[in-house]
A and B are shown apart, each in its own frame.
Chain A
Amino acid sequence: MTPSHTVRTAGRSRVRRLAGALHRRPRLRLSLLLTAPLLWLAVLYLGSLAVLFVSAFWTTNSFTSEVVKVWSTDNFEALFTTPVFRQVIWRSIGVALAVTALCAVIALPIAFYTARVARPRWRPLLVVAILTPLWASYLVKVYAWRLILSEGGLADWLLAPLGLDGPGYGLTAAVVTLTYLWLPYMILPIHTALEQLPDNLLDASADLGARPGRTLRSVVLPVVLPSVAAGSVFTFSLSLGDYITVQIVGGKTQLIGNLVYSNIELNLPMAAALGTVPVVVIVVYLLAMRRTGALSSL
Chain B
Amino acid sequence: MEAPAVRLQGLRKSFGETTAVSGVDLEIGDGEFFSMLGPSGSGKTTVLRMIAGFETPTAGRIELAGQEVTGLAPFERDVHTVFQDYALFPHMTVEQNVAYGLKIRKVPRAQRRARAREALAGVRLEKFADRRPAQLSGGQRQRVALARALVGRPRLLLLDEPLGALDLKLREQMQVELKAIQREVGITFVFVTHDQEEALTMSDRIAVFNEGRIEQVGTPAEVYEKPATPFVAGFVGTSNLLTHEAAQRIVGRPGVYSVRPEKIHVLTGGAAVTPAAEPDRITADGTVAEVVYLGDATRFLVDLDAGGRLTALQQNLETSSEDVAALRGARVRLQWQQRHTFRVPDAV
Contact = CB atoms under 8 A, between A and B. Distances in A.
Interface of A: 198, 200-201, 203-211, 214, 218-219, 222-223, 225
Contact of A205 (B90, B91, B100): B100
Given A200-B83, A200-B85, A214-B104, A207 B90 contact: no
Interface in B74-100: 74-75, 79-81, 83-85, 87-91, 100
A213 B84 CA distance: 25
Nearest to B99: A208
A203 B83 CA distance: 9
Contact of B81 (A201, A203, A210, A222): A203
A219 B88 CA distance: 10
A284 B194 CA distance: 53
Contact of A223 (B74, B87, B90): B90
B105 interface: yes
B100 A208 contact: yes
28 contacts: A198-B85, A200-B87, A203-B74, A203-B81, A203-B83, A204-B83, A204-B87, A204-B89, A205-B89, A206-B53, A206-B54, A206-B74, A207-B52, A207-B53, A207-B75, A207-B81, A208-B100, A208-B101, A208-B148, A209-B104, A210-B100, A210-B104, A211-B75, A218-B100, A219-B89, A223-B89, A223-B90, A225-B91
Most buried by B among A208, A210, A214, A223: A208
A214 B104 CA distance: 8
A207 B104 contact: no
B73 interface: yes
Contacts of A222: 91
A196 to B, nearest CB: 11
Contacts of A203: 52, 54, 74, 81, 83, 87
A208 B152 contact: yes
A218 B90 CA distance: 12
B305 to A, nearest CB: 53
Given A198-B87, A201-B87, A219-B89, A207 B74 contact: yes
Given A204-B87, A207-B81, 9 more contacts: A200-B84, A204-B81, A204-B89, A206-B75, A207-B53, A207-B75, A208-B80, A208-B100, A225-B91
B105 A209 contact: yes
A173 B201 CA distance: 70
A248 to B, nearest CB: 41
Contacts of B83: 200, 203-204
A225 B81 CA distance: 27
List 8 tightest A-B contacts by C-beta distance, closest first: A208-B101, A204-B87, A206-B74, A200-B87, A222-B91, A209-B104, A207-B81, A209-B75
